[in-house]
Chain A
Amino acid sequence: AQSVSQHNHHVILSEAASLELGCNYSYGGTVNLFWYVQYPGQHLQLLLKYFSGDPLVKGIKGFEAEFIKSKFSFNLRKPSVQWSDTAEYFCAVTRNTDKLIFGTGTRLQVFP
């Protein structure tokens, strides 16, 4: 069955540290990839998405993600995190017009 794996369940960083959250998927063929973020007390919102073209995608708030097809990965990165980045991050994948499958999420805590 198709699945999305986020191996980091809980990440704790100090401000200014670099961030990389892993995301691997098991779909074959052409996929669309997303990262969503859920800040404390807020609803889920789109951080960035990849449909085609440049595999390095830039999103809001300085986040970026790189699609590596050979590794079935779409890792999220940020060079220097801020306290306000504390949130839960979800990777999601869909193929064609199939349903969107989410990973289990990674909880990021950033300490000043």
Chain B
Amino acid sequence: KAGVTQTPRYLIKTRGQQVTLSCSPISGHRSVSWYQQTPGQGLQFLFEYFSETQRNKGNFPGRFSGRQFSNSRSEMNVSTLELGDSALYLCASSLVPEGEKLFFGSGTQLSVL
């Protein structure tokens, strides 16, 4: 069974640009969560989707948005990039929403110059 797949693996962008990250969950998993990981901050929750609906949202500005498609694949978008957005963005999937075991992808390393 394939794991959680995130693309691209690495991204380099400049300030002001926008970026879209993709996450394909494990087959059969309908819940997808996104986290931002930075040194010293740990994992900061961004949002969670289940059956194409956003269930939970973290404390990030509106520049961060996401969506989930009918096949459970999810995308995350960051507009007007800032230097502080440089981080590893992790996607996790689970059979049911938060509280159950999460399976993480390898992440997308975003560098904003």
Contact = CB atoms under 8 A, between A and B. Distances in A.
A80 interface: no
Given A90-B43, A102-B35, A49 B98 contact: no
Interface residues on A, range: 20 to 34
Contact of B98 (A6, A42, A45, A99): A99
B102 A100 contact: yes
Contacts of A56: none
Interface residues on B, range: 20 to 34
A97 B50 CA distance: 12
Nearest to B47: A99
Contact of B45 (A43, A45, A99, A104): A99
Interface of B: 3-4, 33, 35, 40-45, 48, 55-56, 58, 90, 92, 97-99, 101-102, 104-107
Interface of A: 6, 9, 32, 36, 42-46, 49, 90, 92, 94, 96-105
